[in-house]
């Protein structure tokens, strides 16, 4: 209903603008035509007046009578009035065509005798026409007047008005139809938006999209923004739904253990209750860690994670992390090496980047046996910053490699190792939130290699940290 009424209003506005422009064009053309034909009519009357003046000067009234008789026999000549006036405005000679007997010729003698040369108009008795006269003073003191009917040039204007109406009426209808068609086509994205809104309200599904024409106009930009907004909302909702599903699924085991410990404590002797409480605290910490990690992953994947990018010296950051994990590596008999150019920098959230590198390093140390080696390398170029972690552990089976980024996935070799199966999912989510990518591969000589790629340093300066 809204789009239809808007279409009609736009069509009416378009027709109104067209009508106003047409009327202005008609008015201008009509005035030009009126001015032109009026000027030609006056020039013709004055030209004939000079011709009769010359005849009178040479032959007097007799010459005028002879000319009247000659022209009366020529049917192709336009009828005219010819009058010779004395100084007292009395008529000395008058020729009037038979068809003009209905003019009020008495008004000629009732005029000002001192100004018979003025351009006069005599109305028809029925008011439907006028006779226009021009006067000229003769050498003998008399006056000569010549008049023509205005019907000829007035009929031209009438025909012009009729032709205009005949042309403008269908054009006005066509302009309304064209305006309705153009507005309907222009508002088609709005109609699609309306239908998409109704579909979402009716079904609750967020996968509805508005077709994009790609015209580049404001409405096309609105459609693109709307589709992008829907995609963002759908991603957020799906992320929340998946997070809730994962939480509901993964909390069953810890909660079941909590319940079992509590029931055991209640059924057992008092000295067993302290141990049960300690187990409950451990399970509670596992649940909190799992929830926090799942929330971080969901925020990163849906774009809701707050990032505070700064200019991070990568060498200093990796040095801090390797120093922290160096004690763990030394206890396990693993060699930990880092080779990072001192000048290498990256634009990233410091704490989140620290979390990425720490998770990858912790994962590498966890699966590398004693006597093994874990190395970190970093390099930069026009395509961005590249961080590579290699270990000499057992590697990743080919069938498990595509699934290691999934939440809570644990391969056969990792089931005996402590963990939640969320570390790599969190790493991937954070790296993608920075506009980068992370990949993994299993080395032929045994071991795994993880590569983190981050965008190049921005031209605008960030505040340096560390």
Check residues 393 and 89 and name the one with the higher pLDDT: 393
pLDDT number for residue 146:
87
pLDDT number for residue 1:
46
Share of the chain above pLDDT 70, in %: 69
Look at residue 428 and tell me whether its pLDDT is greater than 60. Answer: yes
Give me the mean pLDDT over the 177-205 stretch: 70
> Where do you find CATH 1.10.287 in the chain?
200-302
pLDDT number for residue 97:
81
Check residues 275 and 33 and name the one with the higher pLDDT: 33
Question: Residue 335: CB partners within 8 Å, gap ≥ 6?
Answer: 329, 372, 373, 374
pLDDT in tens, 44-73: 888 888 889 899 888 888 988 888 888 877
Look at residue 375 and tell me whether its pLDDT is greater than 90. Answer: yes
Banded model confidence at residue 184, pLDDT cuts 50, 70, 90:
low
In 3D space, the residue among 407, 420, 406 whose CA is nearest the CA of residue 289 turns out to be 420
Cα distances from 50 to residues 71, 72, 91, 118, 374, in angstroms, run 16, 19, 19, 15, 120
Check residues 430 and 460 and name the one with the higher pLDDT: 430
Look at residue 313 and tell me whether its pLDDT is greater than 80. Answer: yes
Give me the mean pLDDT over the 303-311 stretch: 82
Which CATH number is 2-156 given?
A: 3.30.450
Average pLDDT over the chain reads: 77
Which CATH number is 309-454 given?
A: 3.30.565.10
Give me the mean pLDDT over the 237-252 stretch: 65
pLDDT number for residue 119:
65
Fold of 200-302: Helix Hairpins (1.10.287)
Give me the mean pLDDT over the 168-189 stretch: 72
Alpha-carbon torsion 174, 175, 176, 179, what sign? positive
Cα end-to-end span (Å), the chain: 61
| Cα–Cα dist 279/258, whole Å | 8
Give me the mean pLDDT over the 236-241 stretch: 68
Banded model confidence at residue 250, pLDDT cuts 50, 70, 90:
low
Tokens of 176: 């309304």
Look at residue 324 and tell me whether its pLDDT is greater than 60. Answer: yes
> Where do you find CATH 3.30.565.10 in the chain?
309-454
Give me the mean pLDDT over the 135-140 stretch: 86
Give me the mean pLDDT over the 307-332 stretch: 91
Check: CB of residue 449 under 8 Å from CB of residue 440: yes
pLDDT in tens, 335-361: 999 999 999 999 999 999 998 999 899
> Where do you find CATH 3.30.450 in the chain?
2-156
Query: Per mean pLDDT, which of 79-83, 247-251, 448-452 is the most reliable?
Result: 448-452
Check residues 189 and 84 and name the one with the higher pLDDT: 84
Look at residue 105 and tell me whether its pLDDT is greater than 70. Answer: no
- Beta strands 130-137 and 448-454, pairing class: unpaired
pLDDT in tens, 442-457: 876 678 999 999 999 8
**Host H or E run for residue 30:** helix 2-72
pLDDT number for residue 2:
45
Give me the mean pLDDT over the 285-296 stretch: 70
């Amino acid at each position: 209903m809204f789009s239809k009424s808007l279409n009609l209003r736009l069509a009416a506005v378009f027709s109104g603008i067209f009508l106003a422009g047409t009327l202005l064009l008609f008015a201008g053309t009509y005035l030009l035509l009126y001015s032109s034909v009026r000027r030609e009519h006056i020039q013709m009357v004055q030209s004939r007046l000079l011709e009769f003046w010359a005849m009178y000067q040479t032959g007097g009234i007799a010459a005028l009578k002879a000319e009247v008789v000659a022209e009366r026999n020529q049917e192709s000549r336009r009828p005219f009035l010819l009058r010779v006036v004395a100084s007292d405005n009395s008529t000395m000679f008058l020729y009037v065509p038979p068809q003009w007997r209905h003019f009020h010729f008495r008004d000629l003698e009732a005029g000002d005798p001192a100004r018979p040369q003025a351009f006069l108009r005599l109305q028809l008795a029925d008011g439907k026409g006028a006779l226009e006269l021009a006067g000229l003073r003769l050498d003998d003191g008399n006056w000569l007047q010549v008049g023509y009917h205005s019907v000829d040039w007035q009929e031209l204007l009438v025909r012009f008005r009729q032709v205009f109406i005949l042309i403008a009426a269908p054009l006005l209808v066509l302009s309304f139809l064209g305006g309705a068609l153009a507005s309907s086509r222009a508002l088609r994205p709005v109609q699609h938006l309306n239908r998409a809104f109704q579909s979402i309200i009716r079904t609750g599904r967020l996968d509805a999209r508005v077709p994009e024409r790609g015209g580049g106009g404001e409405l096309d930009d609105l459609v693109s923004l709307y589709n992008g907004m829907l995609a963002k909302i759908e991603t957020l909702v799906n992320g929340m739904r998946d997070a809730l599903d994962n939480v509901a699924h993964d909390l069953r085991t810890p909660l079941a253990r909590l319940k079992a410990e509590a029931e055991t404590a209640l059924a057992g002797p008092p000295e067993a209750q302290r141990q049960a409480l300690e187990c409950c605290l451990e399970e509670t910490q596992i649940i909190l860690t799992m929830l926090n990690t799942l929330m971080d992953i969901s925020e990163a994947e849906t774009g809701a994670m707050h990032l505070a990018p700064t200019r991070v010296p990568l060498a200093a950051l990796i040095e801090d992390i390797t120093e922290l994990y160096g004690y763990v590596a030394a206890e396990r008999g693993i060699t930990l090496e880092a080779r990072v150019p001192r000048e290498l920098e990256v634009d990233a959230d410091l704490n989140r980047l620290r979390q990425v590198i720490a998770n990858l390093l912790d994962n590498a140390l966890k699966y590398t046996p004693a006597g093994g080696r874990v190395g970190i390398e970093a390099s930069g170029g026009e395509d961005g910053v590249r961080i590579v972690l290699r270990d000499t552990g057992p590697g990743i089976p080919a069938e498990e490699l595509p699934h290691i980024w999934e939440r809570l996935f644990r391969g056969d070799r990792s089931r005996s190792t402590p963990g939640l199966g969320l570390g790599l999912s969190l790493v991937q989510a954070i790296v993608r939130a920075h506009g980068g990518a992370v990949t993994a591969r299993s080395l032929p000589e045994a071991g795994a290699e993880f590569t983190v790629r981050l965008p190049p340093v921005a031209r605008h300066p960030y505040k340096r940290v560390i």
